[in-house]
Amino acid sequence: MSRNDFSNAKRIVVKIGSSLLTNGGLGLDKPAIAAWVEQMAQVSSQNRDIILVSSGSVAEGLSRLGLKKRPTTLHELQAAASVGQMGLVRTFEDNFQKYDLHSAQVLLTHEDLSNRQRYLNARSTLLTLLNFGVIPVINENDAVATEEIRFGDNDTLAALVANLVEADLLIILTDQAGLLDSDPGINPEAKLISSASVDDPILDEVAGESRSGLGRGGMFTKIRAARLAARSGAATVIVSGAEKDVISKVISGQTLGTYLEPNIAPLAARKQWLAGQLQLKGSLTLDDGAVNSLKNAGKSLLSVGVCSAKGKFQRGDLVSCLTKNGDEIARGLINYGSNDSQKILGKTSSEFATLLGYADDDELIHRDNLVIL
């Protein structure tokens, strides 16, 4: 996807950094937030999906609590995040309501996106919210995180969310113009890198750690995020959030900030991830009709076409799809655990509620979570 193609982006993740949201730590910058929400509402009105990843809970909490210094202990950081989250949620909700838009708070940890069952649950929830026309406002669940809260961590979260919902574009709003070719604190003539391939090794050289130890404007974490987002084919733009109408301008294809181009197409990236990075937990033997539907028609796998299942697996685990001769034709993330799968093999989705006592997905494996080998 080139900049000229951004107007065709249907699903966009916007990440706003703490320094922008809190005006450098002085408290929520409500006029700026109102302006960003107005732009996101405009994008939403164009029949596009918008997902917001918001930093700032700790910084807002420090402001509300009257703390002059950032605490060093984890429990104090978590307490500040809890207090600050209230302000963030209320501010975004009030602003989105001005445009008759509902927003939803979604708190995630990295574990939610690495555990396959929770990954699928999070994905299903976010896609359902988008189908309802709701704007998800996502933040890391800092109040209960067991790992230390680190600067720039929500850049990574934004990239993982882009993977999760298969976004077309990740826009990272920061307090810098974009990625510069050298440290402006050392070289006043540092120039903006307008565009680069996400895997260009020059990026590692220009975004090394700064003298402060935090990285130049957090650019190292943003490049890492762009590379994560590229796994599912999402393009990334790192751009100043202070630019007037910045979101609208980026989507219209204007040359702002730094554009990092993914090196593989979305479908290829997702299928590569499914095929090569997960451990098989079991196998399903398919009838000839199901084999044909998967290989030649690009369909999801329905339980009615499965003859037998082997292994112990849970919802979200990777299983192998076999022909009656034992040849592997596909792999995918299964929507039902092994015990429940045994009960619905050869059955239609209309029978799930009776057989299981509940009914989630109609498919045993959705085609989005399936790779043909």
The three-point CA angle 44-48-52 to 5° equals 65
- pLDDT tens, residue by residue, 36-57: 999 999 999 999 999 999 987 8
* Per-residue pLDDT at 174 exceeds 50: yes
Q: 3-267: what fold?
A: Carbamate kinase (3.40.1160)
The residue-averaged pLDDT of 232-247 equals 93
- Which residues touch 186 (CB under 8 Å, ≥6 apart)? none
* Per-residue pLDDT at 284 exceeds 50: yes
Q: Indicate the average pLDDT of the chain.
A: 86
* Per-residue pLDDT at 211 exceeds 80: no
User: Do 306 and 284 form a contact (C-beta atoms < 8 A)?
Assistant: yes
Question: Nearest-CA neighbor of 239 among 173, 164, 334?
Answer: 173
The residue-averaged pLDDT of 156-161 equals 89
28-37, 263-272, 301-310: segment of lowest average pLDDT = 263-272
Q: Per CATH, is 278-372 categorized as 3.40.80.10?
A: no
- Which residues touch 246 (CB under 8 Å, ≥6 apart)? 39, 173, 239, 240, 256
**Higher-pLDDT residue of 369, 215:** 369
Cα distance between residue 234 and residue 371, in whole Å: 19
Give the pLDDT band (50/70/90) at residue 213: very low
**Which pLDDT score is estimated for 311?**
96
pTM over 0.85: no
Cα distance between residue 27 and residue 16, in whole Å: 15
Q: Quickly count: other Cβ atoms within 10 Å of residue 4's Cβ.
A: 9
Beta strands in 175-219 (DSSP E): 195-197
24-38, 136-150, 195-209: segment of lowest average pLDDT = 136-150
**Higher-pLDDT residue of 49, 208:** 49
- pLDDT tens, residue by residue, 64-107: 888 888 888 878 888 888 898 888 999 999 999 999 999 999 99
* Per-residue pLDDT at 173 exceeds 70: yes
Three-state secondary-structure class, residue 17: coil
Three-state secondary-structure class, residue 92: helix
* Backbone dihedral angles phi then psi of residue 326, each to the nearest 5 degrees: 90, 10
**Which pLDDT score is estimated for 109?**
78
**Which pLDDT score is estimated for 68?**
80
The structure tokens listed for 311 are: 């292994």
The tokens 């009615």 sit on which residue? 304
Q: Based on C-alpha coordinates, what's the Rg of the chain?
A: 22
**Which pLDDT score is estimated for 232?**
84
- The ranges assigned to domains in the chain are 3-267, 278-372
Residues of 82-94 as b/e, b for ≥16 C-beta within 10 angstroms?
ebbbebbbebbbe
The structure tokens listed for 168 are: 């077309």
Q: Which helix (H) or strand (E) holds 33?
A: helix 30-44
- pLDDT tens, residue by residue, 102-155: 999 999 876 677 666 788 899 899 999 999 999 999 988 766 655 543 434 688
